A and B are shown apart, each in its own frame.
Chain A
Amino acid sequence: MSSGDTLVEVKDLKVEFDVREGIIKAVDGLSLTVKRGRTLGVIGESGCGKSMTARAILNMVPKPGKITGGEILYYRQVGGNGKPLITDVINITKLDPDGELIRQIRGGEIGMIFQEPMSSLTPVYTAGTHINEAVTLHRLIPIRKVGDQLVETIQAHRKVSKQEAREIAIEMLRKVGIPKPEQRVDAYPHQLSGGQRQRVMIAVALSCEPKMLIADEPTTALDVSIEAQILDLMRELQETVDMAIMFITHNLGVIAEMAEEIVVMYMGKQVEQASAVELFYEPQHPYTRALLQSIPHVGKKSRQRLASIAGMVPDPFHLPPGCVFHPRCSSFMPGKCDVIVPGWKQIGPNHWVRCLLYEEV
């Protein structure tokens, strides 16, 4: 891979929450690369740090969380239009989270669709935040019409008049499948269904034609036909503006369809990474295998119990020694897995795994 393909490089990222009982390592030494125009899928246990990784890329980890280690490099291309293309390397973790530069990047160059579209509980959103920032920072504001929120966001990132922004907004709402967008543009968030609100957020993110889209569970509230339509729309935009996508989801069907490369996370670390085909056909980590076995398959009716991984996610304040997955692992090797911390091993041209089964110890 030439470095020209790299858009964002996360290196040994650590995000921690300092709470009463101790420190939660939400992200614990994660490294990954997002390439221009490509789709990287991220899957893993609920609470394993996927959303925090996404937020770290935008330098908006909510308090009391903090980025405590590593770096996030954004290879920003400037120039073009006759001028030579220069790549600036920006370390996002070093930027002032309220500074001008990160504000331009957020929403404009790196767009995002966050989990839970309408929430009153955003630690980063304060009364002083501008509407467009609140919206690009992932929230719809309950008391404002969705169209106004869209228009302000578009205007903040694109040089267009208010009227043009409104037209873009309506067109975008139509593309994400909102009926009668010219009317719905004047609806308040609570007047929309869960999936319609989610689609408004998708419209916001895509209307700025970002270089990278972080999509955190973007389609969970959508029926499968609208979901398919939205996935098509993302791929279309990916081609026309060479947009990279970091796609976070629990839906293995969707990730199989969208991602070229997949990262599997457990307790703040990646445990496996491979091309989508290899990951689905030859999963190597016992956690990945267990994940793939716990999904119901459409068309195959069985009232049997689903396979699920034994036990619970460990207490973050008393992490098990050795491999953190060992207490739940079906391939647990006593005396090894509970003692030695596995390393990150390459086991194929494009396949990595963190498991002692693949290490000679």
Chain B
Amino acid sequence: MNILQVQNLEVVYNDVVLVLKGLSLDVASGSITTLLGANGAGKSTTLKAVSGLLAGENGKVTSGSVLYDGADTVRLSPEKLVRAGVFQVMEGRRIFEDLTVEENLRCGAYTQPARLFAHNAEKVYSYFPRLRERRHQLAGYMSGGEQQMLAIGRAVMACPKLLLLDEPSLGLAPLLVEEIFDIVRRINATEGVSVLLVEQNARMALSLADYGYIMENGRIVMDGKGEDLLRNPDVQEFYLGLGHGGEKRSYHDVKHYRRRKRWLG
């Protein structure tokens, strides 16, 4: 059973820029699936197409379909999708800086009945004890890591069935990335939330994910189980920065590979 099926999706910005060029991917119910790719490949665009946030950016799905729980959701507004259980944690955390931590959580809980707030907030605070200490503090004064925790906490408040995470590791120290990924795993396991994780940090993402997709230039170029992709020599070479001898390859080679890939694809 797949909770999400994206089929041959094409997305155009401002009626001219074709960014997704027939992208397909599936997220199995209860799984963590990761979507990897270079800057500008179209990862965030893919997530926004799923969560309905494209319209606000003058983006449009021009062909293909997004099936969530079997039903086509391309025309649904973000409000409807959040109510249906699709929640995107946007790139760059996007917390409400002049609201307190707890008020940010209230926003995450906007679509939930008020009586569930205390219970769900308790859940968030048990995942992220640091948020409890700071709950009456203005969110804008928190560190980047705490803000990312808050961004994920807001998502937990909405009780989603499908969680779309856009680069949660952005700008965080390695130890903190590990902590956050660990919590994503726990949320996935205990809340039964399916996760679609977009990442630049390929190694961490692939070791966490059940299944992975690699995209370039608006298309999927490779997919497979997380551990298989981790072992795949191409992936090792070009996404994990390891040559066959274990030495780092230069960016030039990566670019060369992309060029080759583009010709092949």
Partners in one complex: no
| Interface of B toward A, CB cutoff 8 Å | none
